[in-house]
Amino acid sequence: MRTKIAGIGHYVPERVVKNSELTKYMDTTNEWIIERTGIEERRYAEKHKETPSSMGAKAARIAIERAGIQKEDVDFIIFATLSPDYYFPGCGVLMQRELGITNKEAGALDIRNQCSGFVYGLSIADQFIKTGMYKNILLVGAEMHSMGLDFSDEGRGVTVIFGDGAGAVVLQPTEKEGQGILTTCLHADGTHAEELAMINPGSHGGFHLGTEKYGYPDPSVPGGVFVTQKMIDDNLLSPNMSGQLVFKTAIVKFPEVIKEALGNCGLTTQDIDIFVPHQANLRISQFVQKLLRLPDEKVVNNIQKYGNTTAASIPIALSEAWEQGKVKEGDLVCLAAFGSGFTWGSALIKW
């Protein structure tokens, strides 16, 4: 028995934010952003109205309908995000409530694997389905980056890249010969954990990190310190990224983990019908495409319209490609992601 994607859907917020709008807030240019990242515009959710779980629910409703099931049939939820509605509980239960999937108290699991969250989620779902534990797993990747970005000049290296959105799939068992997830490969290396991260607020207390650099300690607060005035004053409550380190590592790990997946199945890059990379940076995807010698028509890129939506990027890109008729029955679909952690992974799916 294998696991198939029975239904797929995505949701992106209405508000389009072009590069020219960002130039009003920070010292950047349309030309710089396009040249370095390929991004022309991204979407921002409606603040104080939309959240990752509400966007996830919108994508999930489409995936559920396309899978031809009722919401009550969902027996497990996996939610991947790095920008959750709450510090806790996770978005899985919030989306479950929003969807009204309360009939059989289906389990809900949140995973925090950033850019590779969807690939990790797919692998987790695959194991549950193959063991026969669940029959309809709802896997969602959703992000609301716009809420946590730094719109000052200091944040420009990170802020211009990210956008909001959600993608969802329904996973089911299949016994059809050759169909389904053929393999998933998951990897991590925490050596550079802080090089692409949002450190605060957190429970680290400066431990490991150097107290001053991350705004600790604040002697005026008794007990544990979660958010300090220094963090606010020193602008330490937004993500940071060593862009070049991430770029250089990504272009090594992407091809490596794709070749690992192909090797597991006795396949080669020529067998790939459609490649859906995590939409990190158009230059990264183009580099990997060239290395794998894949023609343009086999590679899905939509970062130009949505920016980097982290855990949502692969399901949004896959859903769009499917809607455009680019993913057909019998196609070998290759997914791959790399990001914060560092964590990375790949999946091969016979559609």
Show which residues are catalytic. 115, 278, 308
* Residue whose CB is less far from ligand UT7, 226 or 247: 247
Characterise 9 by phi-psi region: left (phi > 0), alpha (psi -120 to 50), beta (else). Answer: beta
CB of 74 to ligand UT7, least distance (A): 28
341: CB partners within 8 A, 6+ apart: 113, 114, 116, 188, 189, 190, 193, 196
Burial classification of residue 351, based on how many CB atoms lie within 10 Å of its CB (0-12 exposed, 13-18 middle, 19 or more buried): middle
CB of 297 to ligand UT7, least distance (A): 24
Residue nearest to ligand UT7 (CB): 243
Which tokens sit at 236?
A: 């330490």
* Residue whose CB is less far from ligand UT7, 211 or 286: 286
CB of 39 to ligand UT7, least distance (A): 9
Q: Which residue in the block uniquely carries the two structure tokens 């370095």?
A: 36
Calculate ∠ Cα 138-143-149, nearest 5°.
Answer: 170
Integer CA distances (angstroms), 224 to 202, 204, 218, 228, in order:
10, 10, 10, 10
* Residue whose CB is less far from ligand UT7, 12 or 197: 197
* Residue whose CB is less far from ligand UT7, 22 or 62: 22
The answer to whether 143 and 80 have CB atoms below 8 angstroms apart is: no
Which tokens sit at 137?
A: 């797993």
Binding site for ligand UT7 (CB under 6 A): 28, 32, 36-37, 115, 156-157, 160, 196, 241, 243-244, 246-247, 250, 280-281, 284, 308, 339
* Residue whose CB is less far from ligand UT7, 23 or 264: 23
CB of 345 to ligand UT7, least distance (A): 13
CB of 139 to ligand UT7, least distance (A): 19
